[in-house]
Amino acid sequence: MPSPLAVNFSKKSVVVITGASKGIGQTIATEISSRLNQNSILVLLARDNNGLDETKKRIAEIDKSLTVLTYSLDLSKPDQESYNSIFNEILETIDTKDIEFGYIFHNAGHIGTLKETTELTDLAQWRQYYDLNLFSAVLLNSVFIKKLRPIAPQLVVVNITSLVGRMPFANLAMYGSGKASREIFFKVLAVEQPKVTVLNYSPGPVLTDMFNTICDSAEDPELKKNFQETREKSVLTTDQTVTKLLTILEQGDYKSGDTIDYFDRI
């Protein structure tokens, strides 16, 4: 018997992806577009307009029939009013008839400051980091659920998390604390909203701008060495980790709120 959490991308859906201009977010957009019902709607959010245009172009090469809406948005400045306006515009633009699934992929994020904990004393940096990595996701997620619930019987929330939110690494206190905070937030969401499917997905070591920043800019020599060796020998591509994520969603073999790492399903 199929899992009650298993998703069916062949059903008409609305898919919202943050950080969709590059890296994992861009790959989620392109990979999911090859699986989606042709009447589905993709909503791409990121700050970089050029990157959004490139993602939209790649989707069109896969399936021109999909509706793709892009919004240039600075998520380091959380604003519930602007999020409400965007979703109101989306719902006025699209045909909401027969939508069965609503998905949101909380992927946008930043590595933060790579220093020892005793040197992380700039409160402005902390506030900017949490605005982008936690508070924008909190507000955007609230709007997503409230706006999509009346039109999509099944809602799916995916939080892109990280091992560094569960295991301490030198120089990654800011990044790790943000990931840990976001992960527990979405676990609470799963408890409070039993009709919403929630997955925290840890993508493994993936070759992205963030990964390269750690390799090149970390102060701790051991951390830098470990990441550089991983980059040379065993780093994952965005295609590898996104394919795994979408397969997990299709199979639905987890409990809502669970955290699943790429390497948990080898």
In this predicted model, what pLDDT tens digit does every residue of 89-137 receive, in sequence order?
999 999 999 999 999 999 999 999 999 999 999 999 999 999 999 999 9
Structure tokens given for 183: 């992960």
Structure tokens given for 234: 């065993």
What is the predicted pLDDT for the residue at 216?
Answer: 85
Selection from 254, 239, 143 nearest residue 201 by Cα: 254
What is the predicted pLDDT for the residue at 217?
Answer: 84
Question: Which residues of the chain are modeled with pLDDT < 50?
Answer: none
What is the predicted pLDDT for the residue at 224?
Answer: 86
Q: Are 71 and 45 a contacting pair, CB within 8 Å?
A: yes
Give CA separation, 27 vs 44, 47, 65, 178, 245, in Å.
12, 16, 19, 23, 11
DSSP H or E segment with residue 24? helix 23-33
Backbone angles phi, psi at 104, to 5 degrees: -135, 130
Q: 212-223: buried (b, 16+ CB within 10 Å) or exposed (e) per residue?
A: eebbeebebeeb
Angle between helices 173-192 and 136-148 (to 10 degrees): 20
Structure tokens given for 154: 């099944």
The CATH number of 13-208+239-265 is 3.40.50.720
Cα(259)–Cα(161) distance, rounded to whole angstroms?
A: 8
Beta strand 154-160 with 101-106 is: parallel
